[in-house]
Amino acid sequence: MFQPPFCPYRHCARRDDPRPGFCVRHGTYKAACRAHAVQRYRCLSCQRTFSRQTFRVDHHDHRPDLNPRLFLLLASGLGLRQSARNLKLSLSSTVRKFRKLARHLRRLNLSLRRPLEPSAVRLHLDEFETYEGERNTRPLTVPMLLASESRYILWSQSATIRPRGKMTAKRKKAVAEAEKRHGPRRDCSRSALQRTLARGAELLGAKARVVLETDEKTSYPRLAREAFGERRLEHRRTSSKLVRDTFNPLFPINHEEASARVLIGRLRRESWLVSKKRRFLDLALQLHMAYRNLVHRRFNRDEESPAQLLGFVPRRLTPEEVVSWRQEWGRRSVHPLSRSGVCVAEFGARAAA
Ligand SMILES: [Zn+2]
């Protein structure tokens, strides 16, 4: 039986300090899209009412039943238009659903992670290129940080870079026109790398050693030292000219990037799918991370997901569980595997005990 973990209203004292019995049951209501009646509750402190649905990702949704299906379609590399056709949903509803789900998944990705236990952690870092709108004039770089053994994607987010490569007269003109329309194109690769490495550093204990595997890009050594500290860092660099087979030390990240190019439709080369804006690519990356880390097996021969191997969750999550409870309250949010309303922090502690 579901027990509300706290009062969802912002200015109520029982929001941050819920006590047993802070609310009472307050009737039910019948939602058109639900088979069962939804339980309502009344907070004894602020007297306001809320329901089980208040804590769900699909609150206010007209078609909650389509959320897990849309998640799976988008995580399998399908475009928004084809997903809309498959679900018999309008394009605009599909786009809105995608953004809502992806924003939720970003919070879920962050709330489920915990400090990494082992004393030495091996990470892989690399960047791959894509673009927003137009390939010739508006390129992007996408850094990706990977926990090597578990294949858990720690972070990935895009940044603008300046057009480079062969500049024909035609391309120069196109670049100038794009700058006129969108403003000068800045190179934000460095700050994106800093943010990505910081996401790794915040999961490491104070004394944990880090082995970081990258290619030989000249900016990496300094960024890595800044993020992890010189004393505990072992930075291994491999030429990107080395044959990209399974013996290449960069194989895990090369493989994960190839997987992202297949499973995120808009990253696929020579396809019609494209990110019109960078921020929606970032949402697609979060959706991919949720799928790859929580739902998918690490390798096809494995039973466990990357998050499970790191001890973040006790088992693989189903698409329904991934889009179940809202995660807007950090580690106080309801754990995706809890039916009774146990929060993420407590669920983790119980599992460990
Ligand atoms: Zn209240």
Distance in angstroms (rounded) separating the CA atoms of residues 54 and 184: 43
pLDDT for res 120: 80
Ligand 1 centroid, distance to 14 Cα (angstroms): 5
* Tens digits of residue pLDDT in 268-297: 998 999 999 999 999 999 999 999 999 999
* Tens digits of residue pLDDT in 316-336: 999 999 999 999 999 999 999
pLDDT for res 16: 92
* Tens digits of residue pLDDT in 150-187: 999 999 999 999 999 999 999 999 999 999 999 999 99
Full DSSP string of 3-52: ---S---TT-HHHHS--TT-EEEEEEE--TT-SSPEEEEEETTT--EEEG
Ligand 1 centroid, distance to 62 Cα (angstroms): 27
Is the pLDDT at 125 greater than 90? The verdict is yes
Ligand 1 centroid, distance to 24 Cα (angstroms): 11
Is the pLDDT at 350 greater than 90? The verdict is no
pTM of the model: 0.96
Full DSSP string of 269-314: TTSS--BSSHHHHHHHHHHHHHIIIIIS-SSTT-SS-HHHHTTSSS
Mean pLDDT, the chain, as a whole number?
95
pLDDT for res 89: 97
Ligand 1 centroid, distance to 44 Cα (angstroms): 7
pLDDT class of 117 with cuts at 50, 70, 90? confident
pLDDT class of 66 with cuts at 50, 70, 90? very high
pLDDT for res 349: 80
Ligand 1 centroid, distance to 17 Cα (angstroms): 10
Is the pLDDT at 206 greater than 90? The verdict is no
Ligand 1 centroid, distance to 10 Cα (angstroms): 8
Is the pLDDT at 118 greater than 80? The verdict is no
Ligand 1 centroid, distance to 353 Cα (angstroms): 31
Ligand 1 centroid, distance to 55 Cα (angstroms): 14
Cβ(336)–Cβ(314) below 8 Å: no
Ligand 1 centroid, distance to 51 Cα (angstroms): 12
Ligand 1 centroid, distance to 7 Cα (angstroms): 5
* Tens digits of residue pLDDT in 3-51: 999 999 999 999 999 999 999 999 999 987 788 899 999 999 999 999 9
Distance in angstroms (rounded) separating the CA atoms of residues 193 and 127: 9
Ligand 1 centroid, distance to 11 Cα (angstroms): 8
Distance in angstroms (rounded) separating the CA atoms of residues 137 and 145: 26
